[in-house]
Amino acid sequence: MHLAWGPEEEAFRAELVAFIAEYAPPEALVQRDFAGMGEPGEGTEIVPEWARRWQAILFDHGWMIPAYPPELGGRNATPIQTLVFLEELASRGILRSLHFPGYAIVAPSLLEFGNEEQKKLAPAAIRGDTIWCIGMSEPNAGSDLAGLQTRADLRDDHFVVNGQKVWTSYATIAQKCFCYVRTDPDAPKHRGISVLLIDVDTPGIDVRPLRHINGMAGFAEVFFTDVVVPRENLVGALNDGWRITQGSLAHERGGLWVEGVARLEHGVEGLITLARHFGRDGDPVVRREIAQMYSRAASLRALGYKGFTSFAQGSSAPEHSYMKLATSETGKRLYELGMEMQGAYGPVVDDERGYEDGRWIRSFFTSFANTIAGGSSEIQRNIIAQRVLGLPRS
Amino acid sequence: MDFSLTDDQELLRDTARNILARECPASLVRAHIDDPTVAEPLWSRLREYCGLGSGPAVDLCLFVEATGYVAAPGPFFATVALFAPILEAAESDLLEKVLAGEVSGTVAMAGLDGLWAANREPRKTFVPEADRVDRVVVVNSGPTVTVAERLPARLVRTVDHSRRLFDVETAAAVADAQAIAPDALDRAVQRATIALSAELVGTCRRLFDMSLSYAKERVQFDRPIGSFQAIQHKLADMALDLERAWAAVYYAAMALDAGDDERARATHVAKATAGEAARRIGKDAAQIHGGIGYTWEHDLHLFLRRAFASEAWLGNTDWHHDRLADLIV
Ligand SMILES: Cc1cc2nc3c(=O)[nH]c(=O)nc-3n(C[C@H](O)[C@H](O)[C@H](O)COP(=O)(O)OP(=O)(O)OC[C@H]3O[C@@H](n4cnc5c(N)ncnc54)[C@H](O)[C@@H]3O)c2cc1C
């Protein structure tokens, strides 16, 4: 056990820091309390121009996904180097991209499960040249994803798709959808699912935007009516899509904890500033609560590294579920605390009268997404109980 | 930050677990309630590990996590985690014999308020195992230390029979007080606090393991209670608290070993996080066991007692959060 990284990792970090100093646009350097999950850029644009350019620059310099080879926007980095990369970006609050599905879920899934033609779509997904959305959830299939009902009927050389997706982030701006469909309605529910790559401008697709609870543009409903999808757009084998859900969920969870923890730490610093601003920093209750939040963040950082240690040694680590559960729940409490500390001003988002533009109440509302999306807190607890602790299914 | 154990550390951890599983069954902890001398064979066996009183805090933690798992009674913790670090901080010649397992000892430092800060009070409190160790080191403000042979001690009864705490009258032991560097004293107290946190994590793991296996065995409504979501979610939250506390403790140990600036904050985080885990796991362990867990006959209470007493000792959770606040707010 040791605290510090070796000289090689630090040299790697130095290279990254030099790159950031030279290339990162000022907009990317703004610490955000929350990210991913439909967090829009400035204004109403979901992915503003600066973010598209920044993602391409990262790719071209091998800093988008360092573990990948250069043609996929990386530099063949080791797992520890990747961690150094994530921690350095997270501690500076820098986001690589404002649309995570393409680089974080679709590309890894295509590289793992796709055929040679489909693998060729990966670089553009990682570089952000193609914007992807993920069609998993439906009105009747959320936590119980395997219950999805959107039908895809195979007719000779094409599928015909009918049904509806919902909460589809980025659908309003995406070119392509990584879409889970039911291809065998008679099979047990986990066995009749397949994945299709669908162009969002195909006739018969209707995307209706939905605003988020925080008022910002974000996800959408997507309706499919007799949408024709070429057979070669099937990923992996027919009816073998459930395997891909397991893969893509794992990709999504991979490095998220680093950002999650950095956001908590940034939040704790914000709480301290807030307490001083409102003259609450001498209040013993407030002081203790801030210290509790600090402890949570610090212990979660340690737990994340512990999980990473087993992951880097090749064993699968249950820490993912722990980290997802704990960072999302702690975040919610942290922003709530910031809101509470402002007394009557907690809910004020008024430009003139509000503190920090209503950052705390807004972040509080936005943090609700984190305990729902990507497997709710209840689902995480089920996973821990059943897969990690080996308790019987209910 | 690398949490992997070296081969030697894995061996140390496994050895500790094996020895303690064999030498310290729950029946010993129970017998010790009425007769503290029953812990003597265990102490003879643990003497050879007193070398852990110096050297990496990580190694010490790996060992005392195992003593916490079995709620080990006796002078081992007081000797390796409190006495030896203070002697080392004071550059005492006695240290060598202590590390060799020839001399046991304890520390008298806290005043009436129970806080481990140097003070002038002649009566020290919460001194572990003061009646059965070879030496007592008294810490007074200055700070200074004095090593004494025997001092008048009175048992202060707590719910925990596995660690006996005493009031000690130190007036007779001020004669050749020797100055000690405040930094070195801080470090020694940090080391003890981190070690106690590791021990507490061990006790929490025992409570957790007992609850998990009971949830798998106990059948109600024709199925194991562990299939009920209310029980599953309790266990998932307990597991999270436990893993988080483990990580916080070893992070603190690494920070201390590296002499890192983070170590004071990390020590507070470790004890507070272990303390929070103890409270949740303790309460939910009792809940999951139902009526059987409320009996004197069932072993659960032996570990509950140790857990709640350890949570309070060397600064409870709230106290550590408040000191942490002093450093960050
Ligand atoms: C901001 C945001 C972005 C999203 N983006 C996408 C996207 O891009 N693509 C996509 O496909 N989906 C997306 N989702 C959808 C997300 O994956 C689902 O919301 C999530 O899986 C939960 O499903 P649900 O909303 O139907 O809730 P439900 O599954 O109906 O859950 C409702 C409540 O019941 C609880 N519950 C459900 N099952 C159990 C159980 N077995 N045990 C205990 N409690 C249970 C849940 O925890 C929750 O509290 C997004 C969601 C949000 C909030």
CATH number at residue B69: 1.10.540.10
A96-115 pLDDT, tens digit per residue, is 998 989 999 999 999 999 99
User: Minimal CA–CA distance to B214: which of B104, B289, B126?
Assistant: B289
Do residue B191 and residue B85 come from a single domain? no
- In this complex, how many residue pairs, one in chain A and one in chain B, have their CB atoms less than 8 Å apart? 152
Residue A249: the pLDDT is: 58
CATH no. for A132-238: 2.40.110.10
| Chain A residues whose beta carbon lies within 8 Å of the beta carbon of residue B212 | 389, 391
**pTM of the prediction?**
0.94
Domain A255-388 superfamily per CATH = Butyryl-CoA Dehydrogenase, subunit A, domain 3 (1.20.140.10)
pLDDT above 70 coverage of chain A, percent? 93
Query: For position A38, what pLDDT does the model report?
Result: 35
The residues near A279 (Cβ < 8 Å, ≥ 6 apart) are none
Contact A322 B324 (CB under 8 A): no
Whether residues A299 and B269 touch (CB distance < 8 A) is answered with: yes
Tell me the CA–centroid distance for residue A125 and ligand 1, in Å.
25
Segment A65-72 long-range contacts (CB within 8 Å, at least 24 positions apart): A65/A103, A65/A107, A65/A126, A68/A126, A71/A123, A72/A107, A72/A111, A72/A122, A72/A123, A72/A126
Close Cβ partners of A43 (under 8 Å, ≥ 6 residues apart): none
What's the number of domains chain B is made of? Answer: 2
Interfacial residues of A (vs B; Cβ cutoff 8 Å): 1-4, 268, 272, 275, 281, 284, 287-288, 290-292, 294-295, 298-303, 305-306, 309, 313, 319, 322, 325-326, 378, 380-382, 384-386, 388-394
The pLDDT of residue B262 is 95
Q: Look at the block and give the residue holding tokens 């049904």.
A: A163
**Of A57-66, A318-327, B178-187, which range is least confident?**
A318-327
3-class DSSP state of B144: strand
* Backbone Cα Rg of chain B: 19
β-bridge partners, A196: A179, A234
What are the backbone angles phi and psi of residue A359, rounded to the nearest 5°?
-50, -40
For B279-319, what is each residue's pLDDT tens digit?
999 999 999 999 999 999 999 999 999 999 999 999 999 99
Least confident range from A309-313, B172-176, B178-182, B210-214: namely A309-313
CA-based Rg of chain A, rounded to a whole angstrom? 22
Domain end call among B175, B198, B215: B175
CB atoms B322 and A292 under 8 Å:
no
Question: In the predicted model, is pLDDT for residue A348 greater than 60?
Answer: yes
Same domain, B192 and B276: yes
All residues of chain B having their beta carbon less than 8 Å from the beta carbon of residue A388 are 239
Do B102 and B11 belong together in one domain? yes
> Is-contact A148 A168, C-beta < 8 A?
no
Would you say A331 and A180 are in contact if contact means Cβ atoms under 8 Å apart?
A: no
Q: Where is the domain boundary, B151, B175, B199?
A: B175
Cβ of A137 closer than 6 Å to ligand 1, yes or no, is: yes
Together in a domain, B165 and B192? no
Cα A372 to middle of ligand 1, angstroms: 5
Q: What angle do the packed helices A256-277 and A241-253 form, to 10 degrees?
A: 40
Are both B170 and B193 inside the same structural domain? no
* pLDDT (0 to 100) of residue A307: 87
Chain B residue with Cα closest to A390? B216
Q: How far from chain centre, in Å, is Cα B8?
A: 23
User: What does the alpha-carbon distance between residue A319 and residue A299 come to, in Å, rounded to a whole number?
Assistant: 13
Those residues whose C-beta lies under 8 Å from the C-beta of residue B29, and which sit 6 or more positions away, are B70, B71, B72, B73, B161, B162, B299, B302
Contact A389 B324 (CB under 8 A): no
HEC states along A7-73? Answer: HHHHHHHHHHHHHHHHHCCHHHHCCCCCCCCCCCCCCCCCCCHHHHHHHHHHHHCCCCCCCCCHHHC
Instruction: Tell me which of B229, B231, B237 to substitute to probe ligand 1's pocket, judged by most ligand atoms within 8 Å of the beta carbon.
Output: B229
Q: Whose CA is nearest to atom 40 of ligand 1?
A: A379
Cβ partners under 8 Å of residue A112, min gap 6: A247
Other C-beta atoms lying within 10 Å of the C-beta of residue B190 = 23
A255 pLDDT band, cuts 50/70/90, is confident
Identify all chain A residues contacting B272, using CB atoms and an 8 Å cutoff: 291-292, 295
Q: How far is the CA of A325 from the centre of ligand 1 (A)?
A: 14
Among candidates B212, B216, B247 on the partner chain, residue whose Cβ is nearest the Cβ of A302: B247
How close B266 gets to chain A, by Cα (Å)? 8
Query: What 3-state class would DSSP assign to A390?
Result: coil
Catalytic residue among A252, A259, A289, A319: A252
Q: Which letter does DSSP use for residue A391 in this model?
A: P
Interval between CA B140 and ligand 1 midpoint (Å): 59
Q: What is the pLDDT of residue A34?
A: 46
What is the average per-residue pLDDT within B143-153? 94
- Most A-contacting residue of B61, B238, B243 (CB-CB within 10 A), to test interface: B243
Look-up of token digits 């921690």: A87
| Direct distance between the N- and C-terminal alpha carbons of chain A, in angstroms, rounded to an integer | 39
> Of B123, B87, B93, which Cα lies nearest the Cα of B108?
B123
Instruction: Measure B116 CA to nearest chain A CA, in Å.
Output: 20
The DSSP symbol for B149 reads S
- Residue B302's alpha-carbon distances to B38, B223, B296, in angstroms, are 16, 28, 9
Among candidate residues B129, B146, B175, the one where a domain is terminated:
B175
DSSP string of A107-148? HHHHHHH--HHHHTTHHHHHHTSS-EEEE--BTTBSSSGGG-
pLDDT at B209: 98
Interchain pair A392, B248: CB under 8 A? no
- Looking at every residue in chain A, the average pLDDT score rounds to 90
- Let me know if residue B81 belongs to a domain: yes
* pLDDT computed for residue A350 by the predictor: 82
Count CA atoms closer than 13 A to B278's CA, side-chain side: 29
Residue B113 has φ and ψ, to the nearest 5°, of -75, -5
From residue B111, give the alpha-carbon distance in Å to each of B108, B114, B126, B306, B316: 9, 6, 8, 22, 15
- Residue written as token pair 């003139």: A352
Judgement on whether residues B126 and B241 belong to the same structural domain of the protein:
no
- Residue B1 is given by DSSP the state -
- Residue-level pLDDT at A28: 86
- Measured between beta carbons, the chain A residues lying within 8 angstroms of B248 are 295, 298-299, 302-303
In this structure, the number of other CB atoms found within 10 A of the CB of residue B31 comes to 15
Query: DSSP code of A186?
Result: T
Q: B239 and A322 in contact by Cβ < 8 A? A: yes
A386 lines ligand 1 (CB under 6 A): no
Together in a domain, B208 and B168? no
Residue B1 lies in a domain: no
Give the model's confidence band at A317: pLDDT under 50 very low, under 70 low, under 90 confident, else very high. low
- Using alpha carbons, select from A329, A205, A259 the residue that is nearest to residue A85: A259
Strands of the sheet containing B105-108, edge to edge, are: B105-108, B135-140, B144-148, B178-179
- pLDDT over 70 (residue A133): yes
State whether B49 and B197 are in the same domain: no
How do residues B87-125 score in pLDDT, each as one tens digit? 999 999 999 999 999 999 999 999 999 999 999 999 999
| B78 and B54 co-located in one domain | yes
CA distance B203 to B206: 5
pLDDT band of A357, cuts 50, 70, 90: confident
Q: What is the span of the domain harbouring residue B137?
A: 7-175
How does residue A39 score in pLDDT terms, banded at 50, 70 and 90?
Answer: very low
Residue B179 DSSP SS3: strand
pLDDT of residue A316: 63
Atom of ligand 1 nearest to the CA of A137: 11
Strand partners, A221: A208
Check if A265 is active-site: no
Q: Whose CA is nearest to atom 26 of ligand 1?
A: A142
Centre of ligand 1 to C-alpha A130, Å, is 26
* ipTM higher than threshold 0.90: yes
Q: Do residues B156 and B126 make contact, with C-beta atoms less than 8 angstroms apart?
A: yes
User: Quick one: average pLDDT of B237-253?
Assistant: 98
DSSP-derived secondary structure letter, A2: B
**Domain limits of chain A?**
7-109, 132-238, 255-388
Per the CB < 8 Å rule, is B1 touching A294? no
Residue B286, token pair as written in the block: 């009792």
A144 alpha carbon to ligand 1 midpoint, in Å? 8
Name the band, by pLDDT with cuts 50, 70 and 90, for residue A86. very high
B1, B216, B273 ranked by CB distance to A299: nearest: B273
Average pLDDT rounded to a whole number, residues A137-145: 96
Task: Kindly write down the DSSP assignment for every residue of B249-277, as one continuous string.
Answer: HHHHHHHHHTT-TTHHHHHHHHHHHHHHH
Same domain, B129 and B26: yes
Residue B2 lies in a domain: no
The continuous run of DSSP H or E covering B328 comes out as helix B317-328
- Contact assignment for A1 to B227 by CB distance below 8 Å: no
For residue A91, the chain B residues in CB contact (below 8 A) are none
Evaluate if residue A37 carries a pLDDT over 90: no
CB proximity under 8 Å: B 177-216 to A: 212, 215-216
Instruction: Please report which confidence band the pLDDT of residue A42 belongs to, taking 50, 70 and 90 as the band edges.
Output: very low
Contact B42, B68 (CB under 8 A): no
Q: pLDDT value at position B308?
A: 98
B241 and B292 in a single domain? The answer is: yes
State the pLDDT at residue A335.
Answer: 95
CATH number at residue B283: 1.20.140.10
